[in-house]
Structure 1
Amino acid sequence: MLKKQLLFIALFTVGVFSYGQSDAKAKALLDEVYTKVMNYNNIYVDFKYSLENTEANTKSETRGTATLEGNKYLVDLFGSQQLFDGSKVYTIVPDNEEVTIEDQSDDENTITPSKMLTFYKDGHNYKWDIVQNIQGRKIQYIKLIPIDTNTEIKSILLGVDTQTKHIYKLIETGKNGTKTTITVNSFKTDQPLSNTLFTFNAKKYEDQGYYIIRN
């Protein structure tokens, strides 16, 4: 479950989704988002993550952060981390004192930050949706509907700040009624990053008594 949620965050952070054949205005705006993101050396996002299912009467909220540079990323969420150093994926769970090390999935359907920028040509139909004024910011929403009818996702609403061309909000509605919302608190680009930010130090965790699982 944690991995699915982390990949959902990663998908959002890059801010580009698969396009189908639909609204030209919506495609043009997403193209602008894509171009803007591609020009950054790195991206840092602080966000609010919420999950709600009205039928099941459940709702939860938390905050997280994500840092991306090229195909590398570091996501902090639910007290855990997922790190990709360009070769391996490391999932670090302090509560369990456990680290899982895996190869990056070769599954074409797996969404990761390093692959998202290549997934913009097909996959969804999309259309121009509502516009909101949020504290003086004009947020234009684009609705994306998966072409694959077997997917668990009913629709995605992507809110774009029309001035900065940055993603402000993503709302994913599942066919089971679950609504997942990510709202950006802070979006920073081209930050000074440590040379070791995307480097996993196995000895550090071994010295702390972590159990390391290598798959």
Structure 2
Amino acid sequence: MKKLFSFLLLAFMVVNLAHAQQDPQALKILNQMSQKYKSMNAFKATFTQTLENPSAKVKETMQGDILVSGPKYRLAVSGQEIINDGKLMWTYLKDVNEVTITENDAEAESMSPSKIFDMYKKGYKYALAGTEKQGAETVDVIELAPEDRSNPIFKVRLYISQKDKTLKSWQMFRNNGNRYTYSINNFVANPTLASDTFSFNKAKYKGVSVVDLR
């Protein structure tokens, strides 16, 4: 009964957020964050990703690296590399030494690392949920709910630094009970980029098998 009550309370909160008017204070903070990242030519960061599903007693943590420049990004996590130049996407699996090439799907990539800072602008309701401490920093907590009820993600929570408007961490809540938390550990603005940063250089992966699905 207690679990049922908690579930109904959570559902009520989510429905309220989905039907609420857009929060002007939340919009101001989100716009400041978005502008912060748009002012950078690129950025790189190391992060911790945690997957939790309490009902399934699952908790997994992994480390990753991300490099972003506009719509382009390069992500490395758990033996996998994903490279996206805005047109093509390469997914490399280290354990089988195989890369799959596909065309970039803008819709499927709506939650990509390059779009997390602008996702609120289309298809989401948002509200300022409060403030809290993360380490020595005070962060604003913004909650977003998709307008499309068929979206497998029913809530996104952003933790934005009050000091410099950078995104310190974020959470994604899925309908299957999975909760993903991404925490930024180290952040570097405007790093120097090699010319082939956002392309897959086959010569650097000896014996790699290529699966071209374009």
Q: TM-score range by the shorter chain?
A: 0.7 to 0.9
C-alpha deviation, 1:179, in angstroms:
1.0
CA distance in 2, matches of 1:149, 1:192: 41
Q: TM-score, normalised by structure 1?
A: 0.82
Letter of the 1:191 counterpart: P
C-alpha deviation, 1:43, in angstroms:
1.0
Identify the residue that residue 132 of structure 1 maps to in structure 2. 132
C-alpha deviation, 1:195, in angstroms:
2.2
In structure 2, runs of 5+ residues without a counterpart are: 1-19
Deviates more, 1:50-59 or 1:184-193: 184-193
Identify the residue that residue 62 of structure 1 maps to in structure 2. 62
Identify the residue that residue 35 of structure 1 maps to in structure 2. 35
In structure 1, runs of 5+ residues without a counterpart are: 1-19
CA distance in 1, matches of 2:133, 2:65: 25
CA distance in 2, matches of 1:134, 1:32: 19
C-alpha deviation, 1:118, in angstroms:
6.2
Identify the residue that residue 197 of structure 2 maps to in structure 1. 197
Please give the per-residue CA displacement for 1:115-145, whole angstroms capped at 9, x wherever unaligned: 6666543211111112112222111101111
CA distance in 1, matches of 2:203, 2:97: 14
Identify the residue that residue 90 of structure 1 maps to in structure 2. 90
Q: Check if 1:110 corresponds to 2:109.
A: yes
SS in 2 for 1:49: strand
CA distance in 1, matches of 2:190, 2:27: 26
C-alpha deviation, 1:21, in angstroms:
4.2
C-alpha deviation, 1:76, in angstroms:
0.4
CA contact (8 A) 1:49 1:180 kept: yes
Deviates more, 1:166-175 or 1:192-201: 192-201
C-alpha deviation, 1:212, in angstroms:
0.7
CA contact (8 A) 1:64 1:78 kept: yes
Deviates more, 1:153-162 or 1:25-34: 153-162
CA distance in 2, matches of 1:97, 1:186: 28
CA contact (8 A) 2:34 2:118 kept: no
SS in 2 for 1:95: coil
Q: Residues 52, 26 of structure 1: CA spacing in aligned structure 2 closer, same or farther, 3 A cutoff? A: same
Identify the residue that residue 207 of structure 2 maps to in structure 1. 209
Q: TM-score, normalised by structure 2?
A: 0.83
Identify the residue that residue 180 of structure 1 maps to in structure 2. 180
Q: How many residues align?
A: 193
Correspondence 1:72-87 to 2 at 5 A: 72-87=72-87
CA contact (8 A) 1:75 1:82 kept: yes
Structure whose CA Rg is larger: 2
CA contact (8 A) 1:85 1:200 kept: no
Q: Residues 176, 116 of structure 1: CA spacing in aligned structure 2 closer, same or farther, 3 A cutoff? A: closer
CA distance in 1, matches of 2:153, 2:85: 29
Identify the residue that residue 171 of structure 1 maps to in structure 2. 171
C-alpha root-mean-square deviation of aligned residues, in Å? 1.9
CA contact (8 A) 2:125 2:145 kept: yes
